[in-house]
Amino acid sequence: MAPSRSVSEPAAGPVPRGRRLHPWPVRIMHWINAVAMLVMIGSGWGIYDDSVIFGFLHFPKSIRLGSWGAESLLWHFAGMWVLALNGLGYLIYGVVTGRFREKLLPIAVSELIQTVRETLRFKITHDDLTVYNAVQKVLYIVVILAGVMQVVTGLAIWKPVQFSSLVALFSDFQGARLAHFLGMAVIVGFLFVHVVLALLVPRTLWAMLTGGPRLDRGPGHAPVGESR
């Protein structure tokens, strides 16, 4: 039987010499993704306002992208291609290089509960940048899945005739539209928490810009990720 791994131990074999915490493809794709998401959210609000789902909810002009519905739609379609292609690249990279397995798994329920408790008491520490805590792992997995769902529900409401089987997954067109809206709400909620946490621990922001610490400091040294 294979020996069990500790939470902080990388899962994907030996660490290549000199590899950084956030290799350049991850950084480039992350920031393209962040901009594309903001375009999708702002333009989505513009399209929504043309025909609202909830009568009480309208988005003010100042936070919408596009001065009227048709213009917002153009922004939405432009952002869609960037998000879908860049997102696909990120998914393939995460799976092929083993990054998802290494960074996002496993998630220990006990650690999740403990981290939630500490966060609620504002005890937020992120001493070792190379290891995501259980809450971060869950949030990243949720937002990655939400991004995939947005593309699926987006396709369903963009071409409901051609993708009628996708529409059927959500009962009907309005169901797919509601799911698309709820996916946006999940991503906006994630973004709020994500940006607040990044600003509270600015070292993480710097690492996402510059690559962060090297994971292998040469012969005789353990990767930083195992030093906890």
| Rounded CA separation 163/214 (Å) | 45
Query: Which residues make up the interface to ligand HEM (CB under 6 A)?
Result: 26, 30, 33-34, 37, 99, 103, 126, 129, 140, 143-144, 187, 191, 194-195, 198, 204-205, 207-208
Q: Which is nearer to ligand HEM, 107 or 144 (CB)?
A: 144
Q: How far is the CB of 126 from ligand HEM (least distance, A)?
A: 6
* Packing angle, helices 173-200 and 202-210, rounded to 10: 110
| Tokens, residue 123 | 């005890």
Q: How far is the CB of 207 from ligand HEM (least distance, A)?
A: 6
Q: How far is the CB of 139 from ligand HEM (least distance, A)?
A: 8
> Which of 86-97 are b and which e, b meaning 16 or more Cβ less than 10 Å from the residue's Cβ?
bbeebeeebeeb
Q: How far is the CB of 19 from ligand HEM (least distance, A)?
A: 13
- DSSP-based helix, strand, coil % in the chain, nearest 5: 65, 0, 35
Q: How far is the CB of 144 from ligand HEM (least distance, A)?
A: 6
Q: Which is nearer to ligand HEM, 139 or 155 (CB)?
A: 139
Q: Which is nearer to ligand HEM, 168 or 195 (CB)?
A: 195
* Packing angle, helices 202-210 and 24-50, rounded to 10: 110
Q: Which is nearer to ligand HEM, 46 or 79 (CB)?
A: 79
Place of tokens 């998802």: 100
Q: Which is nearer to ligand HEM, 72 or 204 (CB)?
A: 204
